[in-house]
A and B are shown apart, each in its own frame.
Chain A
Amino acid sequence: MAASLAPTRWADLDRLLLRPGNLVGPGFEPGPELLESLQNDLRVLVIGAGGLGCELLKDLALSGFGHIDVIDMDTIDVSNLNRQFLFRMQDVGKPKAEVAAERVMQRVKGVTVVPHFCRIEEKDVSFYQDFHIIVLGLDSLEARSYINSVVCGFLEYEEDGSPDQSTIKPLVDGGTEGFKGHARVIFPGITPCFHCSLWLFPPQITFPLCTLAETPRSPAHCIEYAHLIQWGQDRQGESFDADNPEHMKWIYDQAVKRGEQFNISGITYSLTQGVVKNIVPAIASTNAIVAATCALETLKIATMCSTGMEVYMQYTGTEGIYMRTVPHDKDPNCIMCSPGVPVEVDTTCTLQKFIDQLLKDSRFKLKLSKPSVSYHGDNLYMQAPPVLEEMTRPNLELSLLTLMDGKTSGVLNINDRRLTGVLRVRVTFKEGLDSVDMDTAGGG
């Protein structure tokens, strides 16, 4: 049945890009001075040299950015070649970051791309401080979470609760799967950070063990049964290696048998690999579109410092083209980027009593075990290393109010090995709280 020919409707694509903020100049026309600043002064870090990373490096280099660093811990695999166009068949096995850097510098005159072949956690936090903008081409929630916590850790707040602009490090984040993708901008302290908006990400697929064991219904159930349960039983002592074809074939064969047992069809070797290795389907064009969106945002940030944005773009290319943006607010109590989780403290409270209070507070109980406390970069009490612990131990007996310069309220940074990043606590001093039961004095 032919669709109507009448020009009655149009598909309005909501912004592909984030709308420029109120601070923005009339357009996108970087003048010579701006271009010079892009080429010489600005430093951008691209995290990931895969599907998005390759596209990002190309777009940023061609857009005039002169100093780009790229970090990626992976080596090149043959299945990358359908979209990671900087790599060739003979590059398989080599570090992605290094090959990508070399190829971009070959192609674009005057750009310097510095590769880092390592995990993002291996870099000292100060490494990330050196960049003006950080652009993410990552493929996991954990990696995004980590960078988010690092960048939010740089964030300082003024006394009035507003963010100190000089400590805001913008993040541009892109992600893709098949025909779908997203791009977003994070200005810690202003827009929602990654942690504030975890709900935006679809739930990770995990199967309850009882389903796998008793009531499988899908091919994936059969595969995961073989992978997570049967392997341990039938091939005891052998550690499962997803890159070993014999191991994968074993899983596949067992999964097929289980499928026959429960009348489930559709188990293929390709699906087996996909489920076991958590393979994300990927194509070049989606990566191109999402990366370019991120590059445009990076260009805007670099040249116009706009901050008033509707910050999340979602893209689906399967049926027609669909893009929408989702404006949302940051979580005022976000443990990563907020002005600080509010805590009321008695004016006579010592640092030791404060730490005791935190540990009893139901909001922090599971997140803290041995908290270290710092104030505006000064270590008030450090649990480790022993030398620092000994040095800061005397502070425990001092009045917290005095340690915080006598101000009626301020933000403390709490570090703890149980936390992935800094926990910000906004302390407000009140008189006469001592007589109140400690367990309820947390407030909030």
Chain B
Amino acid sequence: MDPSTELLTEQEAAVYDRQIRVWGVDAQRKLSKARVLVVGMSGVVAETCKNIVLAGIGSLTLVDDSPVTDEASAANFLVQFDDSEGQGITLAEVCAASLRDYNPMVQVKAEAGSIQSKPDSFFGNFDAIILGRSSVSLKKHVNELCRKQTHRIAFYTVDVRGTCGSLFVDLRTHSYTSKRAKDDKDVQLELSYPSFEESLGVRWSSMPKRTSKLLFALRCLEDFEETEGRQPGHVSSQDLPALLAFWKKACEAQTVAESLVPEALLQKLLRAGSTELPPVCAILGGIVGQELIKAMSCKGEPLSNYFFFDAGDGKGIIEKVAPNT
């Protein structure tokens, strides 16, 4: 009937009908070529995977060797509750099986081995990489590897701690089409993104007063975890005195007042530990999913370059943190 839909298989045209009406056949085709890697099957990463698998990406590779436990499945809908009986199966394998059910047209595989053990060339196989909760050094390492590749790899890190969520995006240089408001015509635009390391280098004292406090609080927390040699998320209320001392030092180094972040926020993050509130995972997962779809289809303005959300006070904020040229 329609020459454009002949570019999709009959099954694709039937299943994807409602979303093709949103973003068009061309965007759907681009999506179906996207090869995505995700690392760390937390609740928010599971939600993201659900959304991009349903959307019809080309392939999804999951890396997470950790065992299936009640804790790991608390906010992760991809894990069936009886899977927590410890059968030697990894979290990645269990999640991959569920995801294949969601959309058999997407190639989903669980990749064994830690991400740290993968050779540099491994990362070149992907068009987008999403890191779940991970250390600052791992984020830096993977982001650098992405930027070394000749083809552009869209880079995302996402994490939910209790009621708070955060997202970082690096699309290097991204060309996309956008609808111009005044006449609904398509225009071609370009955005440049700083690397993860570059964004870390921006001095706190140079950032606007209204910058989200979560940005500083999470930076401090992650640096603390790295310095203390903790696995990310493995903190508790008992760490408050040590974290406050750490915060004090950080503020001195960055020449900002300690009052920049209320103690209550740091306390809240410590108390959350490694837990994730499921609806917050769903919100962040929806946003990352959507961002990835925009990046792969080159349609629509992607967010740049941080997103913070706190269900407790109901605020979601986009921050641009980039060095001055």
Seen from chain A, the residues whose Cβ lies within 8 Å of a Cβ on chain B are: 1-3, 5-13, 15-20, 27-29, 55, 58-59, 62-63, 78-79, 81-83, 85, 88-89, 106-109, 178-179, 252, 268-270, 274, 279-289, 291-293, 295-296, 299, 317-321, 323
Contact = CB atoms under 8 A, between A and B. Distances in A.
B77 A296 contact: no
Nearest to B307: A321
A-B interface, 10 closest residue pairs, ranked by CB to CB distance from nearest:
A17-B314, A292-B282, A288-B286, A281-B21, A289-B286, A62-B278, A269-B1, A109-B81, A13-B316, A11-B318
B318 A281 contact: no
A321 B284 CA distance: 12
B322 A106 contact: no
Contacts of B179: 318-319
B293 interface: yes
B135 interface: no
Interface stretch (B112-120, B121-129, B186-194, B239-247): B186-194
Nearest to B315: A15
**What interface size band does chain B fall in?**
35 or more
B260 interface: no
A289 B283 contact: yes
Given A285-B286, A285-B289, A286-B286, A268 B278 contact: no
B210 interface: yes
A88 B303 contact: no
Contacts of B192: 2-3, 5
17 contacts: A1-B189, A5-B322, A5-B323, A9-B320, A10-B210, A15-B315, A58-B278, A106-B80, A179-B22, A269-B2, A279-B21, A284-B50, A284-B54, A284-B286, A288-B289, A292-B280, A296-B280
Given A1-B189, A18-B314, A283-B23, 20 more contacts: A5-B192, A10-B210, A10-B317, A10-B320, A13-B315, A28-B162, A28-B277, A58-B278, A85-B54, A85-B102, A107-B77, A179-B22, A283-B18, A283-B19, A284-B54, A291-B282, A292-B280, A296-B279, A296-B280, A321-B318
- From A3, A284, A287, name the one whose CB has the most chain B CB atoms within 10 angstroms: A284
A29 B162 CA distance: 9
Contacts of B277: 28, 63
B18 A83 contact: yes
B90 interface: no
Given A13-B316, A17-B314, A321-B303, A7 B208 contact: yes
Given A252-B1, A319-B301, A79 B17 contact: yes
A374 B140 CA distance: 70
A7 B206 contact: yes
Given A2-B192, A178-B22, A321-B307, A285 B290 contact: yes
Interface of B: 1-2, 4-5, 14-23, 47, 50-51, 54-56, 74-75, 77, 79-81, 101-104, 162-163, 173, 178-179, 189-192, 194, 202, 206-208, 210-212, 268, 271, 277-283, 285-287, 289-290, 293, 300-304, 307, 309, 311-325
Contacts of A270: 1-2, 5, 17, 20-21
**A interface majority secondary structure:** loop
A285 B285 CA distance: 8
Contacts of A7: 202, 206-208, 319-322, 324
Contacts of B325: 5-6
Contacts of B102: 85
Contacts of B1: 252, 268-270
Given A18-B314, A28-B163, A107-B80, A3 B304 contact: yes
Nearest to B16: A82
A11 to B, nearest CB: 4
A284 to B, nearest CB: 4
Contacts of B2: 268-270
A19 B310 CA distance: 11
Nearest to B191: A3
Contacts of A9: 320
Contacts of B210: 10, 12
